[in-house]
Amino acid sequence: MAVTIYHEQDCDPSIIQGKKVAIIGYGSQGHAHALNLMDSGCDVRVGLREGSSSADKAREAGLKVTDMATAAKEANVIMILTPDETQPAVYKEFVEPNLEAGDTLCFAHGFNIHYGYIKAPEDVNVIMIAPKGPGHIVRRQYTEGSGVPDLACVYQDATGDAWDIALSYAWGLGGARSGIIKSTFKDETEEDLFGEQAVLCGGLVEMIKAGFETLTEAGYPEELAYFEVYHEMKMIVDLMYESGIHFMNYSISNTAEYGEYYAGPKVINDESRRAMKEILARIQDGSFAQEFVDDCNDGHKWLLEQREAINEHPIEKTGEKIRSMFSWIKK
């Protein structure tokens, strides 16, 4: 299915420049949204909790900082960029009481709208502008004159111009420099979660761990195993990122390329594909979302246990030692 991609000539910058924008949260995405929009000539304020450690950073960057409720009350475009699990409470306490008819409620991920954890009143717009990259890259590319592609979508159009507002906001982020892809809350949420779980985070980390464990259990030194299955991963991904799989294959040896075609289907086999389909089904029916929310309500018990386990894995201990040898890696 083809998608529609929009560029700078499709956006009206004056729309977002004529709005009062509130960025709720100043983490990875929050700082990028706030600074890029400010540098694009927008009237931006950052809403933070009382005593937030991010307040001084935002002020030093030249941003107006207020509490969350005041930011929401002052603005007519409110972007909520706190973590997914905190958004429903932040919305209920600080944003919802200060919404007015015709306001635009914004998100960078569709989780809470799609799964119904946040329900906006019918007289406000609900849109999403989701940069396809972490916040520090969104900011860096903007300052370098380029931009990270954005997904943009409208869940609720109360004013009749919600799509134009979404395009203009994405322009302010720098997304129109590379491309704004029209999507839906459903597609963005489900595809994003699947990518994170099956490939980018879950699949990749488990594959690296399994490769490391296979080599070390067979008696190979941990340091060499680290280089083969962990350190060189970035080099391979960088080649694919820059010019595609075909360019990566051109850059590696014939031996490595032959091994790719021979061994790849043995690792990612029919059983792996069935697992991917099961993962996608749990995302689509909402059971993953509910499991995640339940763990959040239990103080992140399971999440913290898994985090501690990976932090103590031998590959992390080995990696820390190896990386300390590299003077070019920033600590």
55 pLDDT more than 80? yes
Q: Which residues are catalytic?
A: 109
Cα–Cα distance for residue pair 258/302, rounded to 1 Å:
40
- 328 in a structural domain: no
The CATH number of whichever domain residue 199 belongs to comes to 1.10.1040.10
Residue 249 and residue 137 share a domain: no
Where a domain ends, among 183, 217, 241? 183
65 pLDDT more than 80? yes
Cα–Cα distance for residue pair 331/323, rounded to 1 Å:
9
Name the amino acid, one letter, at 60: E
Residue 144 and residue 79 share a domain: yes
Where a domain ends, among 183, 214, 230? 183
Residue 166 and residue 240 share a domain: no
Nearest to 131 by CA among 186, 90, 188, 194: 188
Enter the pTM of the model: 0.90
* Cα separation of the two ends of the chain: 43
- 331 in a structural domain: no
318 pLDDT more than 90? yes
Residue 214 and residue 91 share a domain: no
Q: Are 80 and 87 in contact (CB under 8 A)?
A: yes
Residue 152 and residue 205 share a domain: no
Residue 172 and residue 29 share a domain: yes
Where a domain ends, among 149, 183, 217? 183
pLDDT, tens digit, for every residue of 194-252? Answer: 999 999 999 999 999 999 999 999 999 999 999 999 999 999 999 999 999 999 999 99
**Averaged pLDDT, 146-168:** 97
* 203-232 per-residue burial string, b: 16 or more CB within 10 A, e: under 16: beeebbbebbeebbeeeeebeebbeebbee
Q: Mean pLDDT in the chain?
A: 96
Cα–Cα distance for residue pair 47/30, rounded to 1 Å:
10
- 88 in a structural domain: yes
68 pLDDT more than 80? yes
The CATH number of whichever domain residue 155 belongs to comes to 3.40.50.720
Residue 296 tokens, joined: 């959040």
Cα angle 14, 20, 101 (rounded to 5 degrees) comes to 105
Work out how many domains the chain is built from and give that number: 2
Instruction: Domain of residue 275: give its range.
Output: 193-323
- 330 in a structural domain: no
Residue 43 and residue 13 share a domain: yes
Beta bridge partners of 79: 23, 106
Residue 266 and residue 159 share a domain: no
331 pLDDT more than 70? no
Residue 309 and residue 172 share a domain: no
